[in-house]
Amino acid sequence: MIPREDSGRRLDVATAIRGVVQSPAGRIWLLSVLFAAPAAVLSTRLAGVHALLSPTVAWWALALIFFVTERTVLAPPGTARSLPSVGVGAGVLVVGVFYATPLAVLAALCVGFTAAMVTRRPLLVAPGVYGLAQYAFFAAAALTIFQPLATGPEHAWQAWAAAGGAAVLVAVGRGAALAATVADRQALRALRDDVGVACLVTVASTCFGLLAVVLSRVDPTALVLICLTGASTLAVYRLMARERQRRVAVEFLHGAGDALQGPRELETAVVQLLRRARSMFSAELAQLTIFPTAAGEKALRTTVGHGFEEVMAPLDLSQMDDVLEADTDGVIIDRRTSPSASEMLLRRGVGEAMVALLRGHSRMLGSLLVGGHVDARPFESRDLQLFQTLAIQTTTTLENGRLERSIARLSELQEQLTHQAFHDSLTDLANRSLFGERIDQALARSAAAGRLVAVIFIDLDDFKAVNDTLGHAAGDALLIGVAERLRGCLRRPDTAARLGGDEFAVLLEDLNEPSEADIVARRIFDALKSPFDVIGQTVCARASLGVAVADAGGDTASNLMRHADVAMYAAKAAGKDRFVLFAPGMEAEIVSRHRLRSELDRALASDQLTVRYQPVVDLTSGEVTGVEALVRWQHPQRGLIGPADFIPLAEETGQILQIGDYVLRRSCADTASWRSRHAAAGALTVSVNISALQLQQPMFVESVVETVRASGLRQGSVVLELTESILVDDAATVVAKLDVLRRAGIGIAIDDFGTGYSSLSYLRRLPVDTLKIAKPFVDDLAADEPSGDFARAIVGIGTALRLGLVAEGIESAEQIAHLRELGCTHGQGFYLSHPVSARDIDELLAQGGSIDVPAGVEPVRAQVIQLRRQ
């Protein structure tokens, strides 16, 4: 076990190392150490090795030539500047490996490179040290490989190949080492091109060096011609590099001008300009700030960096910190030489930058900034010259009248965006953010005037059904219609808002009495009662409303909205389609419901739900002919919870869909298992309760059929139980779905028959197989004055329509006897068996699958098979 202090210290060290690696400068210093260490080791192995040919060349002469190649070769802005010098110096390296000792070559290389680095302005310390370290490493590696391959002049082709390979290794290795310091993808692509050019130059320079070695062996005086040819070639290469430098700069400026002058919008043009500038200077970010054209306007800043772009962001005067450090023509600033600019650069995450003011003829147009370098190389004087030219060109292009027109258009756009930020895009009502601000303002005014403020939350009941059945276009049309009616119910100072989805809210100001909020809520409730014309169809929307009046002693927007939300949930819990006024104590109940809902979410995710089965028994023979699946919640703290405590909430929140799917799958699997193992379960059926929300799902029928088919149960094994109220609502759609289910071999039963909308007219049209006699009518059979009229009527209806009959809630032998007399042959209830686990049903079937039933009305003996209450 690591002590906590050590763990924290290790974490700090890891964080520090990560910070060093992620910064360009830190990465360069770290890589410098990684290259310098093995270079030193290789140098010790080269000690004492003699030159391949004689006479040997002095190390200082090689150092002088290395210095010349490093200082005289040019490269365009944004390129890996040391790579071309590597290519040109390859010829010098080849001559050195033949006519000098390996240590002399290394010493000359290091001295020449260091001298070039020191004489360069500005002094590039970190990149210079890194260049020296990796140059020394690759040169030492090349010399180490060269020595055993080049065994003597008699094997000239081997020596030539070894020398050429050594030069190419240095060039390619240095290119790869530079790539390790570059994190920007675009800069990596440019570096790849530079490495290719350096390799071509390396091959040419290597051949020149080998030619010098051969001619020196034949005629030493030829070295004069070789030197003159080398100097001329170097001069020509320098001229070509200078021309390439000029061409790249011209192409960049031309492209930058095209970016601003093209037909595209100003914000798009500015982004294109900054992308080009960032790529040209290999910068970490490029930034253009456009100053306001009139009083009251804000400056607009566009920033393009690695992996992010921020376009035309409005600024306050306090955020225009780059103006203080800028210069009319442009200037280079960094944290060391410009302490006042340190904080400004730190905010942008760069160590240095080039900044210029864009000064027009009549006013200051803005400022331009290019900051940081992807390989930690500081900006040089020729970078600044090109940047200054870019700033002048940008100023001229912007000052042609287009800027004012574009700024005016952007101001209009900002106003539109501000409106969109505080209003719902579909209904144009206030959104939640603006609604909260309006409540705060209203509460402040009410405190001063002694008036009341109220908030009404409105939630459309069963809005999801509109989306599912008629489509999202119909749902949007309904929301727009609701918004229009809300506007018609409000006074001038009131505010209507859409909080999201199908939730709306209303702010009522300047109230004299709390009852006025009740009047407005009633007006809104009645207005939403009238049918809506939605894309050619009539839709009736029901709504639950919660009303909260601000406390006269002072209240907050969040409290008022929470109280209205609580009252709305209370309206839903009370049966929906109503409005409820918030009262103290109501919040605790809603919080409890919210907690139960979240716990139910966890129960669904962690398999806390389980299925219990209550046998359906033949009241004559005692045979178990079926089971009804009943869900239970095995709560980790509260124990086994019955469905009455969580099913209503699940139906309200939609969690009933997951629960119903689980119960159907579990009960089908258990029934298939029983039927495969026990002869007594050959004709066993399983009944599963279905909610209205399940039946409304577009793919409900297909899902049920697929679940039953996947379980392997044959037709007639599964019965779906629905209440009468479900069957009556949208009867045409329900009948169509039930017809399909019956044709697929799924049985249909009406649960609690007689307590809903019982009538022969709809019963004849519904595809139903079984009626389940509700418990209140079964209870009448064992009352002090037994009355079986309702039970007798239901049995008569079922017999006339040739439907199966099952009595529910049997609790006594007398009830069984009376049911047999009426002609009801099947029943279930606590007298026969409580709901039990799948294992108990398995044991019951293993013992024959029968339960003793009484022969008459006399008291009966206890059941042969004792079933635990679950």
Q: How far is CA 409 from the centre of its chain?
A: 33
186 with 332, same domain? Answer: no
519 with 433, same domain? Answer: yes
Give pLDDT, residue 862: 37
- In a domain, residue 13? The reply is no
Kindly tell me if the per-residue pLDDT of 48 is higher than 80. Answer: no
Q: Which two tokens stand for residue 461?
A: 């009941």
The residue type of 210 is L
Q: Which distant-in-sequence residues (6+ apart) come within 8 Å of 158 by Cβ?
A: 149, 150, 151
Rounded to the nearest 5°, which phi and psi values hold at 754? 105, -15
Strands 352-359 and 747-753: unpaired
Structure confidence by residue, pLDDT tens digits, 776-803 = 889 888 776 666 788 888 898 888 888 9
User: Residue 187 and residue 375: Cα distance in Å, rounded?
Assistant: 9
- In a domain, residue 416? The reply is no
- CATH number, domain of 758, equals 3.20.20.450
Helices 514-529, 472-489: axis angle to 10 degrees equals 140
In the listed set 161, 196, 220, which residue is the last one of a domain according to the structure? 220
Kindly tell me if the per-residue pLDDT of 866 is higher than 70. Answer: no
User: Residue 323 and residue 340: Cα distance in Å, rounded?
Assistant: 12
In the listed set 359, 377, 409, which residue is the last one of a domain according to the structure? 409
Give pLDDT, residue 636: 87
Residue 154 is classified by DSSP as G
Residue 827, H or E segment? strand 826-827
Write the DSSP assignment of 257-324 as a string of letters: HHHHHSSS-HHHHHHHHHHHHHHHTT-SEEEEEE--SSTT--EEEEEEETTEEEEEEEE-GGG-THHH
780 with 631, same domain? Answer: yes
- In a domain, residue 855? The reply is no
- In a domain, residue 331? The reply is yes
23 with 100, same domain? Answer: yes
**Which residue, 333, 363, 331, 359, is CA-closest to 346?**
333
**Arithmetic mean of pLDDT, 206-216:** 76
> Across the strands, what pairs with 687?
628, 719
Lowest mean pLDDT among 158-162, 180-184, 771-775: 180-184
Select the more confidently predicted residue: 258 or 64: 64
550 with 641, same domain? Answer: no
Give pLDDT, residue 858: 45
User: Residue 829 and residue 869: Cα distance in Å, rounded?
Assistant: 12
Q: What is the 3-state secondary structure (H, E, C) of 80-140?
A: CCHHHHHHHCHHHHHHHHHHCCHHHHHHHHHHHHHHHHHHCCCCCHHHHHHHHHHHHHHHH
302 with 188, same domain? Answer: no
Structure confidence by residue, pLDDT tens digits, 277-300 = 888 887 888 998 888 776 667 788
The residue type of 543 is A
Alpha carbon separation from 325 to 290, 332, 354, 368, 774 (Å, rounded):
16, 10, 10, 11, 86
- In a domain, residue 90? The reply is yes
Give pLDDT, residue 12: 52
Residue 195, H or E segment? helix 185-218
User: Percent of the chain having pLDDT more than 70?
Assistant: 76
Are 507 and 435 contacting, i.e. CB atoms less than 8 angstroms apart? yes
User: Percent of the chain having pLDDT more than 90?
Assistant: 19
User: Residue 112 and residue 135: Cα distance in Å, rounded?
Assistant: 11
- Average per-residue pLDDT in the chain? 78
453 with 343, same domain? Answer: no
Give pLDDT, residue 84: 52
Q: What is the 3-state secondary structure (H, E, C) of 544-606?
A: EEEEEECCCCCCCHHHHHHHHHHHHHHHHHCCCCEEEECCCCHHHHHHHHHHHHHHHHHHHHC
701 pLDDT tier (thresholds 50, 70, 90): very high
User: Residue 562 and residue 559: Cα distance in Å, rounded?
Assistant: 5
Structure confidence by residue, pLDDT tens digits, 541-562 = 889 999 999 876 667 888 899 8
Kindly tell me if the per-residue pLDDT of 361 is higher than 90. Answer: no
688 with 834, same domain? Answer: yes
- CATH number, domain of 102, equals 1.10.1760
Counting the structural domains of the chain, the total is 4
**Arithmetic mean of pLDDT, 207-225:** 73
- In a domain, residue 372? The reply is yes
Rounded to the nearest 5°, which phi and psi values hold at 726? -65, -40
Task: Using the CB atoms, write b or e for 572-601: b if 16+ within 10 Å.
Answer: bbeeebebbbbeeebbeebeebeebeebbe
Are 78 and 190 contacting, i.e. CB atoms less than 8 angstroms apart? yes
611 pLDDT tier (thresholds 50, 70, 90): very high
In the listed set 409, 438, 454, which residue is the last one of a domain according to the structure? 409
576 with 627, same domain? Answer: no
Write the DSSP assignment of 641-703 as a string of letters: E-GGGTHHHHHHHTTHHHHHHHHHHHHHHHHHHHHHH-GGGTT-EEEEE--HHHHHSTTHHHH
104 pLDDT tier (thresholds 50, 70, 90): confident
**Arithmetic mean of pLDDT, 83-105:** 72
Q: Which distant-in-sequence residues (6+ apart) come within 8 Å of 34 by Cβ?
A: none
User: Residue 498 and residue 434: Cα distance in Å, rounded?
Assistant: 10
295 with 347, same domain? Answer: yes
Helices 90-99, 156-179: axis angle to 10 degrees equals 130
The beta-carbon contacts of 388-392 under 8 Å, at least 24 apart in sequence, are 388/329, 388/330, 388/356, 389/249, 389/253, 390/252, 390/253, 390/256, 390/277, 391/329, 391/330, 391/356, 391/357, 391/358
Rounded to the nearest 5°, which phi and psi values hold at 617? -115, 140
- In a domain, residue 178? The reply is yes
Give pLDDT, residue 587: 74
User: Residue 326 and residue 705: Cα distance in Å, rounded?
Assistant: 74
Give pLDDT, residue 506: 94
- In a domain, residue 255? The reply is no
Q: Which two tokens stand for residue 320?
A: 């225009």
322 pLDDT tier (thresholds 50, 70, 90): confident
> Across the strands, what pairs with 314?
300
Kindly tell me if the per-residue pLDDT of 864 is higher than 50. Answer: no
Q: Which two tokens stand for residue 125?
A: 């310390």
Lowest mean pLDDT among 228-237, 271-280, 461-470, 789-798: 228-237
Domain that holds residue 206: 18-220
- Cβ of 448: how many Cβ atoms within 10 Å? 7
Give pLDDT, residue 44: 81
676 with 825, same domain? Answer: yes
273 with 159, same domain? Answer: no
Rounded to the nearest 5°, which phi and psi values hold at 423? -135, 150
Give pLDDT, residue 126: 61
User: Residue 530 and residue 489: Cα distance in Å, rounded?
Assistant: 14
- CATH number, domain of 304, equals 3.30.450.40
Give pLDDT, residue 741: 93
Task: Using the CB atoms, write b or e for 165-176: b if 16+ within 10 Å.
Answer: ebbbbbbbbbbe
